[in-house]
Amino acid sequence: MTAAPGRGRFITFEGGEGAGKSTQIRLLADYLNACGLKVTATREPGGTPRAERLREILLSGKIAPLGPLAEATLFAAARIDHVDQLIAPTLAQGGWVLSDRFADSTRAYQGARGGVAQRDIDLLERAATGATTPDLTLILDLPPETGLARAAARRGVHEDVDRFEAEEIDFHHALRQAFLDIAARDPARCCVIDATLPPQTVAQTIRSVIDARLLNAAGQVAAQ
């Protein structure tokens, strides 16, 4: 998409469990701050007090019995508040927004894997996001076995697995493919990053993509 002059940039991070999104968001935020940009890091589901309350319900698995369409609808409800209250106003003020997951997660988890029809996913996505679509989506890709092992190590022994981490390994393989399909369909917006590499190497790759696609693109930022 072509961003309006003066508008900030919206970058989303997607991928399976344990791909290292939060680490990479932190490292990218440091880099962009050092470039003199105003950065807001956020996450989905969540990002606002109301959406965080919906997050608790979604990750508890209480909505799961209602089926993937109900889950997709609740993810979209949380997204409406997130976009209206945080993302759109921040971008309008020239801030950069880094979001740990966004609409592609609904497309992959509830659509490709959950079986929700594409037209319903499209409708929910349009309704929730409006014109607030990502300028860049980084898909952190790695084999699900590696990601789940990382997520388990991070979680430690006392916390329970969440609703989605608890799915069978086939689910996670299909999820990986769903994200790769999203990237293949929309290469202008998406970039697949090899997340098996060490975090600093992944961070360097991401910085190169940001430099090439956003910071140095036609002097967009320099001109702001």
In the complex, the residues that contact ligand TYD under the rule CB under 6 A are 17, 21, 44-45, 59, 75, 100-101, 105-106, 109-110, 162, 164
Closest C-alpha to 206, from 138, 105, 135, 142: 138
Judged by CB, which is closer to ligand TYD: 99, or 215? 99
To the nearest whole angstrom, how small is the minimum distance from the Cβ of residue 32 to ligand TYD?
21
Judged by CB, which is closer to ligand TYD: 181, or 211? 181
Number of CB atoms found within 10 A of residue 188's CB = 8
To the nearest whole angstrom, how small is the minimum distance from the Cβ of residue 88 to ligand TYD?
17
Closest C-alpha to 128, from 96, 99, 97, 106: 106
To the nearest whole angstrom, how small is the minimum distance from the Cβ of residue 152 to ligand TYD?
12
DSSP states of 31-100: HHHHTT--EEEEESS-SSHHHHHHHHHHHHTSSGGG-HHHHHHHHHHHHHHHIIIIIHHHHHTT-EEEEE
Residue 141 CA to residue 138 CA, distance in Å, equals 9
b/e string for 32-48 if b means 16 or more Cβ within 10 A?
A: beeeebebbbbbbbbbb
To the nearest whole angstrom, how small is the minimum distance from the Cβ of residue 209 to ligand TYD?
20
Judged by CB, which is closer to ligand TYD: 6, or 130? 130
To the nearest whole angstrom, how small is the minimum distance from the Cβ of residue 17 to ligand TYD?
4
Judged by CB, which is closer to ligand TYD: 31, or 109? 109
Judged by CB, which is closer to ligand TYD: 34, or 159? 159
